[in-house]
Amino acid sequence: MAADTLSLQGKVAIVTGSGRENGIGAGIALALARNGASVVVNYMSQSTKDRAANVAETLRKAGGQAIVVQSAVDTLEGARHLVKQTLEGFQTDHIDILVNNAGTAFFCPITEEPNVEQLAKVFQTNVLGPFYMVHAVVPHMPPGGRIINISSTNSKRGNAKISTYAASKAALDNLTWTWADELGRSKGLTVNSVAPGPVKTDLYPEGQEEELMRPEVALTRAADRAGTPADIGDAVLLLVNEKSRWITGQYIGVNGGVTY
């Protein structure tokens, strides 16, 4: 009997917000590509164009296929554009894996004057973005397809300085549970949330990373350290594999044991 593998040969994947080399999205994209998937590296802002190209080159050097697509995911038009470019770029009629990783946060304690535009952007990107992407991808996703929503420990623990971000991730967890039901029996898809804890990425204000991560690092059980993009990527790799066919609708903390 042949040994089980984590091969994703022949699979097509989209990882939204994967255009920064030090980001969680890039770590996920690398894990999928090195195991045979054809991966779309997605970025939104023109300022990260070169970084996205670097990520794609890293994926190719790891043995995977990769294309780069600039597209916002916080509008239905942007989501549909990303799906269209994926199908055309890989000359395929199917998308097997969607990782809703793109997200944003703004530090705004409730006692400070709110920036209404920033607050709206958090929910537009973190909640409606995944909604639009799932809507656009599902018609092209065959049975056995995998949808992974990147959540956060903040969805369970809250966060006084970025309460809107925490609330948006709680909403995403609810969507995960609902979509698992809606897309499971009818279409044969699984939907799960992966919740990182502290991972040093561009999400944190420059120079404040260690200070802001310290409280949650102190709660880790696996090791006394922050997580890495590779930690998250390897967990997603397990969940998108065929062997995870009976796991759906779950909040899976990939955070060293900060949440349960």
pLDDT of residue 198: 84
Q: Is 152 a catalytic residue?
A: yes
End-to-end CA distance of the chain: 36
Q: What sign for the dihedral angle of Cα 223, 17, 87, 129? A: positive
| Distance between CA atoms of residues 202 and 104, nearest Å | 10
Q: What sign for the dihedral angle of Cα 219, 225, 226, 232? A: negative
Q: What is the mean pLDDT of residues 214-227?
A: 87
Three-state SS string across 197-222, please? CCECCCCCCCCCHHHHHHHHHCCCCC
- Answer yes or no: is pLDDT of 207 > 80: no
Q: What is the mean pLDDT of residues 81-98?
A: 98
Cα 205 to Cα 45, 118, 200: the distances in Å are 18, 15, 10
- Answer yes or no: is pLDDT of 208 > 90: no
Percent of the chain, pLDDT > 90? 80
Q: Is 47 a catalytic residue?
A: no
pLDDT of residue 2: 67
Q: How confident is the model at residue 1 (pLDDT cuts 50, 70, 90)?
A: low
At 258 the three-state DSSP class reads coil
Pairing type for strands 190-196 and 146-150 reads parallel
pLDDT: is 112 or 215 the higher one?
112
Q: Is 193 a catalytic residue?
A: no
Considering the candidates 132, 169, 193, 251, report the single residue annotated as catalytic.
169
- Contact between residue 39 and residue 15 where contact means Cβ atoms under 8 Å apart: yes
Helix 163-187, helix 116-123: angle, nearest 10: 20
Q: Is 151 a catalytic residue?
A: yes
Considering the candidates 43, 132, 165, 251, report the single residue annotated as catalytic.
165
| Distance between CA atoms of residues 156 and 173, nearest Å | 10
pLDDT: is 103 or 226 the higher one?
103
pLDDT of residue 128: 98
Q: What is the CA radius of gyration of the chain?
A: 17
Considering the candidates 18, 38, 71, 152, report the single residue annotated as catalytic.
152
pLDDT of residue 147: 98
pLDDT, one tens digit per residue, over 141-176 is: 999 999 999 999 999 998 888 899 999 999 999 999
- Contact between residue 19 and residue 254 where contact means Cβ atoms under 8 Å apart: no
Would you tell me which CATH number, out of the four given (3.40.50.2300, 3.30.420.40, 3.40.50.720, 3.10.105.10), belongs to the domain 12-248?
A: 3.40.50.720
pLDDT, one tens digit per residue, over 32-77 is: 999 999 999 999 999 999 999 999 999 999 999 999 999 999 999 9
pLDDT of residue 54: 98
Considering the candidates 18, 38, 151, 168, report the single residue annotated as catalytic.
151
- Contact between residue 241 and residue 5 where contact means Cβ atoms under 8 Å apart: no
> How many whole angstroms from its chain centre is CA 218?
25
Q: Average pLDDT over the chain, rounded to whole? A: 94
Q: What is the mean pLDDT of residues 239-253?
A: 97
- Answer yes or no: is pLDDT of 206 > 80: no
pLDDT of residue 53: 98
DSSP states along 79-132: HHHHHHHHHHHTT-S---EEEE---------TTSPP-HHHHHHHHIIIIIHHHH
